[in-house]
Amino acid sequence: MEGIGALFDSISNRYDRFNHTSSMGIDRIWRRKAIKSLPKCETILDVAAGTADLCIEAVKRGKAVRVVGIDISEGMLNVGREKVSKSGFDGSIELIVADCAKLPFPGNSFDAVTCGYGVRNFAELDRCLLEMYRVLKSGGQLRILEFTYPQSRFVRFFYDFYFTRIVPKIGRKLTDNDEAFAYFVNSVKNFAKGKDFLAILERNGFADARFKSQTFGISTLYSACKR
């Protein structure tokens, strides 16, 4: 766990640039769609909040009065705090260092829980999902965005070329950290996708689990709720 936190600490200052450059800016659209799919509510918990993009998007779109973001990387949250301050949303967004496997909140306290590109990094995935379920109010909504390895052979051909030839160069230039970069590519390829991830959500109690592929299946939006 500390390993992942330290890894994100080490790239925190360049994380946003790497993200937006390697996805050619499309990641902003994926996040916007995830937040737009939520009903308006009082409180949202964003786990693995990183540099707070989903938190800011949620408040900007008027989806919640209060958003709490948690992450194990203080470095990522510090970048997020600067962005929150610049956006003028300090009064609505709170960023806290915490492990998703042990959330510091009572049960049934949030109307929605979101997670952007975080679940594949969780050392204890089931424990984290159970915690997300516990803090969600009954009837509350879950939205998870995750990178996925595309199904189509045709798309895979371009994906493999882009991710094994081009993105490593971008990663090395922007983050100067080979370890972080190799981790990113492998973690995407090895993580459960589509129906397999829906089964993981269901075994952790979530209902109405469904998914929507984004941009040729390279990102996926998972939705579910707590009955």
Ligand X SMILES: C[S@@+](CC[C@H](N)C(=O)[O-])C[C@H]1O[C@@H](n2cnc3c(N)ncnc32)[C@H](O)[C@@H]1O
The answer to whether residue 100 forms part of the interface with ligand X (CB under 6 A) is yes
Q: Is 224 in the site for ligand X (CB under 6 A)?
A: no
Does residue 171 bind ligand X (CB under 6 A)? no
Q: Which of residues 101-120 bind ligand X (CB under 6 A)?
A: 101, 116-118
Longest dimension (CA), the chain: 47
Q: Is 76 in the site for ligand X (CB under 6 A)?
A: yes
CB 154 to ligand X: min, Å: 27
Contact 143, 221 (CB under 8 A): yes
Q: What pairing do the DSSP bridges indicate for beta strands 219-225 and 207-214? A: antiparallel
150 binds ligand X (CB under 6 A): no
DSSP H helices, 44-166, are: 53-60, 74-87, 125-135, 153-161
Structure tokens at 152: 């189509």
Does 49 sit near ligand X (CB under 6 A)? yes
Nearest residue to ligand X by CB is 50
**CA gap 58, 31 in Å, rounded:** 9
CA contacts within 13 A on the Cβ side of 139: 2
Options 97-105, 135-143, 167-175, 201-209: segment touching ligand X (CB under 6 A): 97-105
Give the binding site for ligand X (CB under 6 A). Answer: 1, 4-5, 8, 47-50, 53-54, 70-73, 76, 99-101, 116-118, 121-122, 128
